[in-house]
Amino acid sequence: MRIQNTKIFTGNHKTAPVKKAVSRYVKKNDIPDPVAAKKETARKRALKIVGDAFSNERKIDDDIRSRRDKINSLLRDIGDAQKSIGALEKSRAELRDFYGVSEDSPEDADLKLLEKEFRSDMPGNKERFTPEEWARLNKIKSEGMTEYQQRSMELLEYESPFLEEAYEAEKGIYDEERVINGIKLERLKSHPMVDASKQADKVMDDAAKEIVKTIVDEAKENIERKAEEEKEKAKAEREKKEEIEEKIESAREKRKENERLTEEIIENASEVTAVANDVKEAQQEVKEMLSKMKLIEDDIKGSAVDENL
């Protein structure tokens, strides 16, 4: 009888959960293949080499792209600064027209010399003055500036932050371009992706050689193992053959012994038979003698009776 879905309760005790039995047998497909494992390990290593090289190249490209973006941002800053400077220069030109000063006049020439001195204090400026220019500057300062020159210089001072911003932006662009050119130069000296590809190929080649060596070693081991097994098998067969031959020899010896014993038994039996015949004859003779002795005894007794009579 088959009982299904039956629960047994014993008091307040709960039945223990039934654990599924774990099979001790492993499928053949679950057994790891050492050759396949080595191939997969080599493949992953080669991919990592190429992937790391590509990742590094991508990081360099991202760095260059970031620096170019920064250069573009700095160029925009320069453009904005130049627009502001241009607006101020336009105002100064309108101021010159307002005062009716000609561009080739001595007053405007003195203003340009004052501008040169003003810009000489700006970062990155490399203006140099001749002795004649220094003498003229000292004279202008001692005599004092004209109203036009003074108001124009006031507008020029508003250009200072924009000039500094443009200078810093130009310096930043120079630094970024220097770094980018350095990176490009280093790339010309090396070929990381090509080198990584060669290294990855070497990894795969080395793995292939190792796999071949492994296969050859396994084949050797199998041959040696089979040879040892054959040797052990031959030894076992030889021992078994020797054991059988020993048993056959033992059986032969036993057979010979049995034959010898049989012959002895037959001989003894013959002797016993002969002895038995002799005994029988002796017994017969004795019996005959006893019969004769009895007759003699009877005769003696008869004689005695006769005498008594």
Q: Looking at the structure, tell me whether residues 147 and 165 fall in a common domain.
A: yes
Q: Looking at the structure, tell me whether residues 54 and 99 fall in a common domain.
A: yes
Q: Looking at the structure, tell me whether residues 155 and 66 fall in a common domain.
A: yes
Q: Looking at the structure, tell me whether residues 151 and 200 fall in a common domain.
A: no
Q: Looking at the structure, tell me whether residues 162 and 38 fall in a common domain.
A: yes
Q: What pLDDT, on a 0 to 100 scale, did the predictor assign at position 309?
A: 54
Structural domain contains residue 18: no
Range(s) of the domain holding residue 39:
34-190
Instruction: Tell which of 190, 212, 245 closes a domain.
Output: 190
DSSP 124: T
Q: Looking at the structure, tell me whether residues 122 and 164 fall in a common domain.
A: yes
Q: Looking at the structure, tell me whether residues 164 and 41 fall in a common domain.
A: yes
Q: Looking at the structure, tell me whether residues 60 and 153 fall in a common domain.
A: yes
Q: Looking at the structure, tell me whether residues 165 and 229 fall in a common domain.
A: no
Residue 266 in tokens: 């037959």
Q: Looking at the structure, tell me whether residues 178 and 247 fall in a common domain.
A: no
Q: What is the dihedral of CA 55, 57, 62, 63, to 10 degrees?
A: 120
* C-alpha 119: how far from chain center: 66
Instruction: Tell which of 190, 206, 222 closes a domain.
Output: 190
How many structural domains is the chain composed of?
2
Torsion angles phi and psi, residue 133, rounded to 5: -70, -40
Better-scored residue on pLDDT, 8 or 130:
130
CA atoms within 13 A on the CB side of 271: 6
Of these ranges, 42-46, 72-76, 123-127, 289-293, the one predicted with the greatest mean pLDDT is: 72-76
| pTM for the full predicted model | 0.50
Q: How far is 39 from 208, CA to CA, in rounded Å?
A: 8
Residue 75 in tokens: 């160029």
Better-scored residue on pLDDT, 279 or 139:
139
Better-scored residue on pLDDT, 22 or 171:
171
Structural domain contains residue 23: no
Structural domain contains residue 309: no
Structural domain contains residue 50: yes
